[in-house]
Every structure is written in structure tokens, then in C-alpha cells.
Structure 1
Amino acid sequence: MSDSGDSDIAWTLYKDRPEWKDITPVSEDDGPNPVVVIAHSEKFEDVYDYFRAVLKKNEKSERVLQLTKDAVELNPANYTVWQYRRDLLKALGTDLRSELDYVESVIKQSPKNYQVWHHRRVLVEWLQDPTLELELTGDALLQDPKNYHAWQHRQWAIKTFGLFSKEMAFVDNLITEDVRNNSAWNQRYFVVNNHLGWSDLNVQREICYAMEKIKFVKNNESAWNYLRGVLLHDKRGLSGNAVVTSFCEDLYKNKCRSPYLLAFIIDICDEAIKKGELSCFHNPDRAIELCTALATKYDKIRSKYWNYISEKFKIAKNEQEEKEKQQENGDKMDD
């Protein structure tokens, strides 16, 4: 879709069409002192001059419906054109199934255009029929697995019409193809959060799923973030799940130094300190050691952040030692 009309050999300008002689085109008004004037093609100016004219007259006709098609082809992101097209569809009683076909063709040309996806959503709402939406969004995601608009539309359709039954399989296939597909991990969380629920059984299943994927690619931020998100629903917390803490320590013992692993262990230490449940693995000294390793070797680009976090643990360590001294002095006085 282009502003240029060079390839439109047989194109006839609206101003030269006999059936449009009753319309006086309305030129764009950039004000008395325009700062930056966009150099549109003659075709673009002609189409939008006539669109502004019919919009001003509030004409609802088949010829205007066709005019909006031409306007969309030249600028598929124009909100006003799409909104007026919807007004026309209602006023003319247009077959919405054919409109679905049309908007699908526009999506294939402009898959990251918010306005066209919004138009599609309105049509589905009017029809109350989401039959084609999973296939449409699936095709769009095959072309670009991180197409935000396709994911947003898919989530809306699934949640609105209860289309959850096959979504976990769909997501699992995407993660199998690309374990770093953060959008697919997000969709998996969406399905559990909005459909399956966070029962203890589901929480443990998702923990195991994430850990299996981490074993496959240890330096995968998406899987680590998912694991952290799932543990928010575990009543034992980050530091209380023995399966997870053992998994992390086993990776560490086996020389894994992924910055995501080290950051995860730091978070476990932080929670253990706050709970007062310190161990030889999870304590301020261990957290400080890992912060130093990240700052100096494994995540140097964020060294200032890790040095800052390290200082927080040093403060926590000093406070802990002070409490221990006070407790020790109190015990001596009791004696």
C-alpha cells in the first residue's frame, strides 16, 4: 500500500469521473503557515479531497464505500476513514462476511496496523462469530511470532468467546520451535491465568515445564521470567519451593553461570533474608558474592545496578549482625 500512483496506469482520478461531478472536493487545510508540508501524490490528494467532501456532507452510499477502500489503500492507518467505513457498513446493511474477507486482505498487507485489527474486532463483535480468528492470527504469527496486534486480537477473541481449548497446544508448538519466543511464553501465562487457574497442581506442572525448557537453553530470559511469574502463585514463595531451589543449586554446581540463574538465586536469597529463613546457600554473603560476579563478569552492562543491589545486601548483613550482637548481649545479661 503506497502513496505513489505511478503504478496505477489505468487509474482515473475522482475529479475526472462523471459520476462524481456533483461533489466539490475539499482540499486539506494545513493552516496559514504550515511548517512541514507533506508532498503527497496527485492520486492521494484527489482521493482524500473527495473523502473530506463526502465526510462533510455525511453521504452514505455505495460509491463512498468504494472511496474508503481507495483511501485505505493509500493510508491504512487513517482512523477517520475506518470509522466512517463502519458507519457506512451499518447504514447500507453491507454483507459483513464479505467485509471480513476484505479486511483479511488488508491485514495481510499491513499486519502491524492497529486500525485494521480494530476494524476486524468490531466486525467480529457485530457478527458474534469468532470462527476465523484463531486461524487468521495463527497465520499472522507464522509470519511474525512477535506481532503485538495479532497477539492482542487473539487474546481478545479467546477470552471473549472462550476459545481456550486448543491454545496450550498452540503455544507449546511455538515454544518448541523457538524456546526464546517471549510472546509465546506470555500467552502460556495468559491461558493459565485466565482459564486453567493456579491450583497447586497447575503451579507445580508449570514449574516443571519451565525448568525443562531452562535445561534445554540455560541462558533463556523468557523461561526464567516465566518460572519467576509462576512462583508468585506458589504459597511457598520463591525460596520455599525445594524443587526450584535444588534445581538452581544443581545448575550452579555444574558451572552454569547464566546471569538469569545468578539473578534468580539472588532473589531467593533476598526472600530468605526477609523471611528470616537463612541457610548456607541463601544468605547476605551469598547474595553479595553473586552481585559482585554479575557486576564484574557475567552482566557487566548492568554493573551499576548489581553494585547498588550489593550495597542493599551489605546493609541487611550489618543489620543482621547488629541484631545478633544485641541478642547475645541480652542473653549474657539474663545469665
Structure 2
Amino acid sequence: MPPKAKVSSKAKEAASKTKEPEAPPPKTANERTAQRYYQTNPCEKRREEVGLHGLTPTERQTWANAFFLPLIVSKEVLLSHKSDREFWKQVGKESLPVRRLSRARKQHHAWGRDRHGRDVGELSPEDFDRRSLQQARLAALEALHSRFVQRRELAGLRLTRPGSSDSAAHEDVTPEEVEEDRQRRKEMAALKSELYGEKMGTYAQDPEWDDVTPIPADEPEGALAAIAYPDDYAEAISYLRAVMAAEEYSPRTLRLTEHVISLNAAHYTVWLYRFKIVQALDLSIPDEIEWLNQVSLENLKNYQIWHHRQLLLDHYHAQISANADADALKKLARSESEFLRLILDEDTKNYHVWSYRQSLVRKLGLWTPQELAATQSFIEDDVRNNSAWHHRFFLVFCDPAASTPGCHATEHDPAVPAETVDREVRYAQEKAALAPQNQAAWNYLRGVLAKGARPLASAEEFAARFVEGVGEGEGREKVRSSHALVFLADVWVEKGEKEKAALYLSRLAEKWDPIRAGYWNYRKQQIAA
């Protein structure tokens, strides 16, 4: 047998020259994709560099074989038997890949951007692979979630299974399956946040709320000052709008109101809705008040809380009064008084609390020495506590047992005992002497005198203790209380001594209360008229 021609070795040598040089490890997903493209498209990189006519004959043959290989495999190009055998012989010799990557239309594949706005193609291969696994996991979870939702909808409709008898209805989903889907949604939310920066709200994750279509805020397009709600608050409010529109009163809506209140306790609408739920479900008022106590301590200045408490008090009082439950009334009075003491320890001048306290006294008839003593203790602690002074006046002069119903606060009330007026005059004067510049005590004194139909002049001697030498020069004029000066000016008006009253008002405007000079000058004009 003749020896093989040496041309064979030359062919192998030429073929070896067509192999691409080893590329360095890729640093990004885009680089790895490019390397894979060139690995599955022999001589393509060389062609891009020198052009088709710049390739050697061997390289050009290899490139052509690689180009036509997919077309021949898919039978888009048909060859004769001889040509086909020769072609596949060349494919085998050059180890050409049957499948190859196609050239992307753009320089890099559009992988999109991650939650930080970075091009996903610029991630390291390791990070890219990890992201791909997360995307696959998310797709699997979404498929399972869709199946759960479909099963539950079919169960709700009581539709039959395909191929089953008409009596074989879908089984309801079990609580375990609901909990499983709840956990599944939490994982989906975490993956969406990690992959795309999308936030899946608490209610969107909860199967219990799948039947509710949230109603988002209707912000006009291009609004000048659109409210930037936090995501969790915006979601909760959108579900609140939906259930309110549907007039749903259920345990889950009660929990929803609690959540919204925890986010924004000043949302007055949610409080009104919550009270309707309490009424509709006939919930325990003491339990609701117990919950409200903690909310109140966390939101001391909130008005809506106290309005809600007022509604609860009225509702509960009507219930226990209808049942003639004296023990329940006593228990309510005791618990409410104790809580008011607790919250006033935190904020002694809270207007809303004192206003509610007045209502509580009226509703439960707490015209007691204990209530008066408790109020007096606040004045003893802080003589400038206007709210405590107001409550004392209310207790003393609005008690149905010792006052005329409907009598105005500044009107004479013949039903008030003279000894009560005497006692309150002494009390007001005692506290005014402790803090002469405290307006609360002087206003209280005026109110007491009006209730007893006593002239201001009856307290002239007391007021004169704080004023000396008015109009007698800077060296002799001494005023320890501008409120006493005003009081005496009104005394002179009452007595008809207009010039003296005008002098006192002038000194107030010029020296002792110039910030209200306009008012004191106006008073002078009124006297002159």
C-alpha cells in the first residue's frame, strides 16, 4: 500500500491555525456571552477583524461550513448525497458545533437593569447566575400562586372538575394551604424587591384580601403638590377606601382600621368607620376602650381619639342604662376616672382630655367631692393650669343639684348657695395672691362674682393690694399684677368714675401691657362714648 500523502499533515496544520486563541476568563455577563458567541461561531471574530476576503482559504471554508451547518440541519438547504457526505466529513474534521448563538442586534444583549439601575449585563458571571436562579425561583412561585388563586376561585364558584361527575365539586382550600400561599407571597415579595426594587405590600401578600380591589388615591395629573404617601400607608389606605365603599363591617376591616390608625392616628375618617364596625359587630365596648387606652397614651394630643372615646361612652352608657346595670356604671366611672388620672399625669393641660372629662361628669353624674378634690389637686400643683380652673368652675356651678339648668356661665344663678360663692371667692383670691400675674385666678374670680350677682367692687379692696400710686409718677407707681389693674379699671367703670378708669387703661397701654395698647385705647374710647 502506498504511503499516505504528506498533504494530509499540511491540512491538519492549516486547520489548527483556524482555532481561536484562548480568551481570558470573562469579567461580566456580557463578556461571557460574547465569548460563547465566538465559540459557537468559528472564525467569526477573525472575519469581523479582517473581513471575509481577508480570511485564508482554510478559514473561509471553515466559516462557510459553520454558516451553512444550521441551514442544512434544518433542511433549509438541500445537498446531493455526495456533497452531503463531503460536508459532514468536513464538519466532523473541524468539530463544528451544530447549534450556535445568533448575533445580537445590539452590541450587548438587553438583560435589563437591576433595582439599583445597573445594566444586568455588567454584573459578574457569578452575580448574574445567582440572579438567574432567583428569577427562576420567582417564576416557579408565581406559577404555584396562580394555581392556588385559581383553585380557590373554582372552589368559591363550586365548579366541577374536568371529567368528574356533576356532584363532585372542588374542595375548599385548607387553612394550611392559605398559610402556605401567604408564606409563598412573602418570598415572592422579597425576590421582587431584590431583583427589581418592586415593593409588594402587606395586603397584596395576604390571601385574605384577594377579593378586595384597592382604590388608590385620585391625585390629579400634574398636581402641584401631590402627597408623597409612604408605600405601606398608601396601600393600607387604598384597601380602606375599598372596604368603606363596599360598607363592609367585619373582623378583618377592624384589623385594617387598627393598622391605619397605627400609621396615622389623625385620620378622622378611619375612626368614624371603626366605630361603625364596633356597632355593627356588637363588639365589647370595654375591650375597645382597653385597646384605645394604649393608643391614647401614644398620641396624647390627638383629637380624633377622644371623639371616638366619646362615641364609645355614649353607646355603652345607653346599653348599660337600658339594662339598669348599676354595677357596670360604677365600674365604668371608676375605670375612666383612673385612666384620665393616668393620662393627665402625662399631660396636665391636655384640652381634649379635660373636655372629655366634663362630658364624663355629665354622663355619669360625677358631681362628687372626690372629683372636686382631684381637680383642686391639679390647681395646687400648677396654679396656672387654665383647664383645671375651668373644670372646677364647671363642677361648682353646673351641678344640677345646685344650679339652674341652662344658665349661662356669665349669668347670675340664684340657685347657687351664697356660701358656695363665698368659698369660691376666697379660693380665687388665695390663688391670685400666690401668683398675682396669673390670669386664670382673676378670670375665675370674675366668673364667681357674676354667678353670685355681686359687683366687682366687692373685691376692690383685694385687687388694690397689687396696685399703688397709679398715675403719680414712675417713682411712686407700683403694679404687681396687670390683671389687678384691669380689674380695678372695670370697678371704676362700674362705679361711674370714668376718668379714673381711663387713667388705669392709659397706664396699661403705656406701661404695664403695651402689647395690647390698641385694645386698651379702644376701651378708653368706649368709656368716653
TM-score, length-scaled by structure 1: 0.81
1:43-99 residue CA offsets vs partner (Å, 9 max, x unmatched) = 111111212222222223212211111111112122222222222222223222211
Per the alignment, residue 6 of structure 1 pairs with none
- Checking the alignment, whether the CA contact within 8 Å between 1:157 and 1:163 is kept in structure 2 is yes
How far 1:141 sits from its partner (Å)? 1.9
| 2:302 pairs with 1:113 | yes
1:270-309 residue CA offsets vs partner (Å, 9 max, x unmatched) = 1111xxxxxxxxx233223222222222112222332333
Residues in 2 aligned to 1:303 and 1:28: alpha-carbon distance in whole angstroms: 50
How far 1:194 sits from its partner (Å)? 0.8
- Checking the alignment, whether the CA contact within 8 Å between 2:466 and 2:481 is kept in structure 1 is no
How far 1:105 sits from its partner (Å)? 1.2
Per the alignment, residue 251 of structure 1 pairs with 466
| 2:235 pairs with 1:46 | yes
More contact order relative to length (CA 8 Å, sep ≥ 6) = 1
1:1-335 residue pairs with structure 2 within 5 A?
A: 13-128=202-317, 129=329, 130-131=332-333, 132-165=335-368, 166-195=370-399, 196-197=402-403, 198-239=416-457, 241=458, 244-253=459-468, 255-273=478-496, 283-313=497-527, 315=528
Unaligned runs of 5+ in 2: 1-199, 318-328, 404-415, 470-477
Residues in 1 aligned to 2:214 and 2:522: alpha-carbon distance in whole angstroms: 63
1:216-245 residue CA offsets vs partner (Å, 9 max, x unmatched) = 111111111111111112333212x2xx12
Residues in 2 aligned to 1:42 and 1:123: alpha-carbon distance in whole angstroms: 32
How far 1:253 sits from its partner (Å)? 4.7
Residues in 2 aligned to 1:47 and 1:174: alpha-carbon distance in whole angstroms: 41
SS of aligned partner of 2:372 = helix
How far 1:312 sits from its partner (Å)? 4.2
The alignment of Structure 1 onto Structure 2 pairs a total of residues equal to 293
1:188-239 residue CA offsets vs partner (Å, 9 max, x unmatched) = 1111121144322111111111111111111111111111111112333212
How far 1:140 sits from its partner (Å)? 2.1
SS of aligned partner of 1:14 = coil
- Larger helix percent: 1
- Checking the alignment, whether the CA contact within 8 Å between 1:27 and 1:49 is kept in structure 2 is yes
How far 1:173 sits from its partner (Å)? 0.6
Letter matched to residue 88 of structure 1 = I
SS of aligned partner of 1:209 = helix
Letter matched to residue 308 of structure 1 = Y
SS of aligned partner of 2:451 = coil
- CA-based RMSD of the aligned residues comes to 2.1
TM-score, length-scaled by structure 2: 0.53
- Checking the alignment, whether the CA contact within 8 Å between 1:291 and 1:309 is kept in structure 2 is yes
Letter matched to residue 158 of structure 1 = V
Q: Percent identity among equivalent residues?
A: 37
Letter matched to residue 491 of structure 2 = I
Residues in 1 aligned to 2:523 and 2:243: alpha-carbon distance in whole angstroms: 62
How far 1:31 sits from its partner (Å)? 3.4
Structure 1 293/257 Cα, relative in aligned 2: closer, same or farther at 3 Å? farther
Letter matched to residue 247 of structure 1 = F
- Checking the alignment, whether the CA contact within 8 Å between 1:14 and 1:47 is kept in structure 2 is yes
Which region of structure 1 is more displaced relative to structure 2, 195-204 or 115-124?
195-204
- Checking the alignment, whether the CA contact within 8 Å between 2:261 and 2:267 is kept in structure 1 is yes
Per the alignment, residue 191 of structure 2 pairs with none
Kindly name which structure, 1 or 2, has the bigger radius of gyration based on alpha carbons: 2
Which region of structure 1 is more displaced relative to structure 2, 181-190 or 191-200?
191-200
- Checking the alignment, whether the CA contact within 8 Å between 1:257 and 1:298 is kept in structure 2 is no
Residues in 1 aligned to 2:209 and 2:524: alpha-carbon distance in whole angstroms: 73
- Checking the alignment, whether the CA contact within 8 Å between 2:432 and 2:441 is kept in structure 1 is yes
How far 1:260 sits from its partner (Å)? 0.5
- Checking the alignment, whether the CA contact within 8 Å between 2:467 and 2:479 is kept in structure 1 is yes
1:162-208 residue CA offsets vs partner (Å, 9 max, x unmatched) = 11212211121111111111111111111112114432211111111
- Checking the alignment, whether the CA contact within 8 Å between 1:76 and 1:115 is kept in structure 2 is yes
Residues in 2 aligned to 1:54 and 1:252: alpha-carbon distance in whole angstroms: 66
Residues in 2 aligned to 1:312 and 1:84: alpha-carbon distance in whole angstroms: 51
Letter matched to residue 218 of structure 1 = P
Residues in 1 aligned to 2:501 and 2:453: alpha-carbon distance in whole angstroms: 23
Unaligned runs of 5+ in 1: 1-10, 274-282, 317-335
1:253-278 residue CA offsets vs partner (Å, 9 max, x unmatched) = 594441101100000011111xxxxx
SS of aligned partner of 2:487 = helix
Structure 1 98/235 Cα, relative in aligned 2: closer, same or farther at 3 Å? closer
